[in-house]
């Protein structure tokens, strides 16, 4: 099982295909090597890689896949619109004890409440940092009491949804916020959220599978066909990492409307500007990678040992 000192050395690699170039990823002397038109242009040691995101058309070798599995490297294959269409994820297979505990949880509703409280805490913290929440401590205490008071899963979903709507409305108000509308690409902020959340989701899923979790069996997000509900659960407190980065990018004027095209009312990030925004999101995830790892590790011990010592992730800054 991967330790925190080992994880500290790990990197996320992302590659964007180039139009007209013949690009290939191959295994060479314990390295992942990138070739363009059959010529090596870059490489990185397998021991330093946690995950590789491949965007667009690349050739990959069976030897590379085999060695990625051996080194514990997850591969994610994405379309140009950042939709993941395939993955080869390193995981701890056969952890039947963990899965037995996961499938027979008795305190799943309490864990779900803790996830929602953690997410709410981070939202209030961010509002306070931009001077839109003068008394975050008292606001959180009130929110936590409301969350603890809910009696069923449907009510918890409603409470969390209301908190999140209010957070988005206040946090992104100066940037023309209307509403959260996943995958509809109705405005730039929603497009950036979709991109950032996609990478955060797959990073979270890869962390959980290191321990052998069945990421389709959720706690807060219930079973739904082909949805990795547990990854959705654990990602919830982390979402503010992406929200904060988008806000920061707006304030630093790093987000330019000219970087996007509009077709039939949908915004698309143009190819030549993809790297600029991917760097923003990958930098934000890598900045907190150790804290995300620790949360996943503590979540594992919480489920395995059936304790009420729930992990709590705090967004910084």
Entry field: residues in the chain: 317
Identical fold for domains 4-88 and 96-305, yes or no, is no
Sort strands 59-60 and 23-28 into parallel, antiparallel or unpaired.
parallel
How many whole angstroms separate alpha carbon 250 and alpha carbon 174?
A: 10
Q: Cα–Cα distance between 236 and 136 in angstroms, integer? A: 19
SS3 call for 274: helix
3-state SS record for 87-109: EECCCCCCCHHHHHHHHCCCCHH
Entry pTM: 0.94
Note the pLDDT of residue 132. 92
Which helix (H) or strand (E) segment holds residue 85: the answer is strand 84-88
Cα–Cα nearest to 241, from 188, 300, 297, 201: 201
Q: What is the pLDDT of residues 75-102, one digit of tens each?
A: 999 998 899 999 999 988 889 999 999 9
Q: Residue ranges per domain, the chain?
A: 4-88, 96-305
Residue identified by tokens 């929440």 is 133
Predicted pLDDT at 68:
95
What does the alpha-carbon distance between residue 75 and residue 73 come to, in Å, rounded to a whole number?
Answer: 7
Q: What is the pLDDT along the chain (317 residues), one digit of tens a residue?
A: 789 999 999 999 999 999 889 999 999 999 999 999 999 999 999 999 999 999 999 999 999 999 999 999 999 999 988 999 999 999 888 899 999 999 999 999 999 999 999 999 999 999 999 999 989 999 999 999 999 999 999 999 999 999 999 999 999 999 999 999 998 999 999 999 999 999 999 999 999 999 999 999 999 998 888 899 999 999 999 999 999 999 999 999 999 999 999 998 899 999 899 999 999 999 999 999 999 999 999 999 999 999 999 999 999 86
Give the model's pLDDT for residue 93: 84
Q: Interhelix angle for 153-171 vs 136-149, to 10°?
A: 160
Topology classification of domain 96-305 = 1.20.120
Q: How confident is the model at residue 226, as a pLDDT?
A: 82
pLDDT value for 26: 95
Q: How far apart are CA 232 and CA 306, in angstroms?
A: 21
CATH superfamily ID and name for 4-88:
CRISPR-associated endonuclease Cas1, N-terminal domain (3.100.10.20)
């Amino acid at each position: 099982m991967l330790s925190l000192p080992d994880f500290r050395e790990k990197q996320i690699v992302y590659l964007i295909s180039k139009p007209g170039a013949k690009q290939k990823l191959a295994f060479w002397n314990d390295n992942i090597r990138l070739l363009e038109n059959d010529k090596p242009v870059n490489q990185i040691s397998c021991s330093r890689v946690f995950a590789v995101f491949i965007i667009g058309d690349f050739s990959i070798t069976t030897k590379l896949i085999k060695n990625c599995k051996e080194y514990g490297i997850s591969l994610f294959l994405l379309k140009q619109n950042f939709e993941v269409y395939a993955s080869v994820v390193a995981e701890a297979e056969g952890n039947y004890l963990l899965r037995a505990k996961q499938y027979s949880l008795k305190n799943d509703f309490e864990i779900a409440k803790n996830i929602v409280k953690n997410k709410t805490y981070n939202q209030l913290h961010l509002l306070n940092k931009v001077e839109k929440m003068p008394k975050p401590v008292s606001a959180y205490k009130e929110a936590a009491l409301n969350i603890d008071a809910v009696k069923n899963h449907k009510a918890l979903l409603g409470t969390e949804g209301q908190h999140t709507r209010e957070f988005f409305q206040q946090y992104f108000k100066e940037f023309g916020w209307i509403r959260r509308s996943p995958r509809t690409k109705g405005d730039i902020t929603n497009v950036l959220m979709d991109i950032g959340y996609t990478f955060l989701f797959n990073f979270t899923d890869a962390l959980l599978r290191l321990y052998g979790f069945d990421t389709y069996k959720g706690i807060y997000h219930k079973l739904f066909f082909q949805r990795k509900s547990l990854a959705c659960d654990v990602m919830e407190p982390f979402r503010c990492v992406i929200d904060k980065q988008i806000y920061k990018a707006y304030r630093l004027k790093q987000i330019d409307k000219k970087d996007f095209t509009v077709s039939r009312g949908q915004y698309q990030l143009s190819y030549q500007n993809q790297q600029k925004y991917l760097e923003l999101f990958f930098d934000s995830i890598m900045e907190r990678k150790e804290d995300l790892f620790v949360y996943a590790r503590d979540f594992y011990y919480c489920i395995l040992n059936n304790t009420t010592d729930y992990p709590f992730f705090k967004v910084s800054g």
